[in-house]
Amino acid sequence: MMAGGGLKKYLPPVFAAGFLALYLGPAMAAPGDEENGEAIYAKRCLQCHGEDGDGLGPAAERLNPPPRDFTFGLYKFKSTPFDEDLPNDGDLLRMVRDGMPGTAMPGWSGLLNEQDMWDVIAYIKTFAELEGEPETQVDYGAQVATSAESIAAGKTLFHADDRCSECHGAEGKGDAIKKLKNDNGDRTWPRNLTKPWTFRASNDPKDVFNRITAGIPTTQMPSFADPKSKKKLSIEERWHVANYVTSLAKTEKVVRPANTVIQAARLEGEIPSSPEDPAWDAAPPSTFFMVPQIVGETRFFTAANDTLSVRALYNGDKIGLHLEWDDRTKSIPGDPKALSIADEDLTEDAVAVQFPVTLPAGMEKPYFLMGDAAKPVNLWRWSGGTTEEAESVAMIDAMGIAEQQMRDAGGLTAKSSYKAGTWRVVMTRPLITGAADQDLQFEEGRFIPIAFFAWDGSNGEAGSHHAMTTWYWLLLKPSASARPIIAAIAVTLLLGAILIWWGRSARTRAP
Ligand code: HEC
Ligand code: HEC
């Protein structure tokens, strides 16, 4: 009764504060009950952020990036100026409510109501004895609407003096070759700006403007509003750069969860052997999420690669697969430059395509992680090579993660290119090898299970430590050119029949 009444008294100002914080982001301290916040914290946040708010909860060890240490009172995604440590409560509410994509920090809107969120925010602020409201707010000036001119101006500023490209790379894929650590000594990676679904906040120009203005505290991402910065940008310039960053988002090669079938297009000529050949554009790309391999021993939680795009072409004899994925580092064991930015033992970058050995009759597929004794799989595995050895491709027969046999690649070929943070690999194989007991024999018009694996050598990925997809389907679409001919013949026959009928009935109608 009492608690209910107390809560009711609070509701109107809380809603008002929440509303304003969400839509205006003002420096408004929301009323939060620390005691209730402590209880919620113990139940929902402690396992990651730790009992003392130091980011050392029991689950923290496996997380990359690690959970925030609240005892410093420093937050990454704030809309207050670079020289103001205190975030707005609205900034914290947003991260707690929506979560932080690309990290383990979940969004809590489904489990906590808004009052609970204000309460837990009041509690986490006590770890650093944060009080009161920030004195200054970010000056947005007049937002510059996006346009071709603004994007072009932003692109120039992004590259001038290597301002952003120094860390985010020539095409914004976060592949600039530098080893970055946050204030805590943990390895951090500049964001791949072409993948907005990995942004902790968003790639809306206003959010990007905020990041450029305030920087990302505790990381190496600096403020470009700091008058002491040699690379300082005016308000207008920051809007141009923000518009440019927003324009970098991939639109074609994005994951469309409804798309589970890779359509292989039939080609009359040769399968293009170069990954950069524009002929690959004839096949539509399908993009899939990859997840860390956490089901088989030994498990691995912190895989670096997160998506892979594939295109497929085939002709009378061969199938060709074009694989493309962003990898910030070209990992060449033996190369001093590659070694200097690697995290752990440097291994080769690699990718593999998995097929069942025999096409299943129905929708039954082999176990997704390298098959089993009853349903073996083939892995076509490409490795990037070292300073001593060239790139290579191998055929692996697998009956589970512990049962792998490498054999002669037969007619399997692979060729790669690495450019501005993106690997592209083309693999080809004859459709029919004649050895149906060990190789998949491709057939037109059948749904063929297919799955993918990728290893980032600079992240110490090798063996069972990798990223992977679940099974998808590959479909060799029967020649499109045959269909219009059949349709044309059918129409001709139909027209003929109608004419004959018309002629006959005209004759009977005639007086
Ligand atoms: C499964 C682990 C996990 C749980 C549970 C969790 N967090 Fe987090 N949290 C993280 C990680 C990881 C980060 C750091 C992300 C980063 O640095 O980009 C984070 C960051 C934060 C931040 C920092 C935002 C910023 O801008 O710097 C806040 C605030 C936060 N968490 C609050 C909470 C609250 C409140 C709860 C409980 C209701 C909670 N977290 C539960 C993992 C977790
Ligand atoms: C010295 C290296 C460095 C420079 C220079 C740099 N950044 Fe970053 N940037 C980073 C790092 C590191 C992160 C990731 C921080 C984190 O979340 O841990 C990042 C993250 C970002 C994000 C992600 C925001 C989000 O919501 O997740 C954006 C956008 C961004 N940077 C834009 C820029 C722009 C634009 C410039 C140039 C004006 C720039 N950066 C210059 C290192 C840098």
If DSSP states are collapsed to H, E and C, what string results for 201-245?
Answer: CCCCHHHHHHHHHHCCCCCCCCCCCCCCCCCCCCHHHHHHHHHHH
φ, ψ of residue 123 in degrees (nearest 5): -70, -45
Quickly state the pLDDT bin for 324 (edges 50, 70, 90).
very high
Cα–Cα distance measured from residue 132 to residue 73, given in angstroms and rounded to the nearest whole number: 13
Pocket of ligand 1 (CB under 6 A): 44-45, 47-49, 59, 63, 65, 67-68, 75-77, 92, 95-96, 100, 103-106, 108, 120, 124, 200
Q: Is the pLDDT of residue 347 over 50?
A: yes
Q: Is the pLDDT of residue 158 over 60?
A: yes
Cα–Cα separations (whole angstroms), residue 15 to 10, 34, 90, 134: 9, 18, 12, 21
- Residues in a beta bridge with 289: 307
Nearest atom of ligand 2 to the alpha carbon of 242: 35
In tens, the pLDDT along 351-388 reads 999 999 999 887 789 988 999 988 999 999 999 999 99
Question: Quick one: pLDDT at residue 18?
Answer: 38
The preferred substitution site among 34, 46, 47, 49 for testing ligand 1, maximizing ligand atoms within 8 Å of CB, is: 49
- Residues in a beta bridge with 313: 265, 320
The CA 190 to ligand 2 mean position distance, Å, reads: 5
Nearest atom of ligand 1 to the alpha carbon of 95: 24
Question: Quick one: pLDDT at residue 21?
Answer: 40
The CA 219 to ligand 2 mean position distance, Å, reads: 9
Q: Token digits for 166?
A: 């120094």
Question: Quick one: pLDDT at residue 502?
Answer: 54
Three-class secondary structure of residue 19 per DSSP: helix
Question: Quick one: pLDDT at residue 343?
Answer: 78
Number of H helices, E strands in the chain: 11, 16
The CA 249 to ligand 2 mean position distance, Å, reads: 15
Cα–Cα distance measured from residue 313 to residue 428, given in angstroms and rounded to the nearest whole number: 9
Q: Is the pLDDT of residue 67 over 70?
A: yes
Question: Quick one: pLDDT at residue 176?
Answer: 82
Q: Is the pLDDT of residue 24 over 90?
A: no
Nearest CA to ligand 1 atom 21: 68
pTM value is 0.86
Nearest atom of ligand 2 to the alpha carbon of 245: 35
In tens, the pLDDT along 248-282 reads 999 989 999 999 999 999 999 999 999 999 999 98
Give buried/exposed letters for 362-387 (b at 16+ CB in 10 A, else e). eeebbbebbbeeebbbbbbbbbbbbe
The CA 333 to ligand 2 mean position distance, Å, reads: 28
Closest by alpha carbon to 307, among 253, 251, 349?
A: 253
Do 49 and 57 contact (CB within 8 A), yes or no?
Answer: yes
Query: Pick the residue with more confidence: 161 or 135?
Result: 161
Instruction: Give the number of whichever ligand sits closest to the CA of residue 88.
Output: 1
Quickly state the pLDDT bin for 233 (edges 50, 70, 90).
very high
Q: How far is CA 16 from the centre of its chain?
A: 36
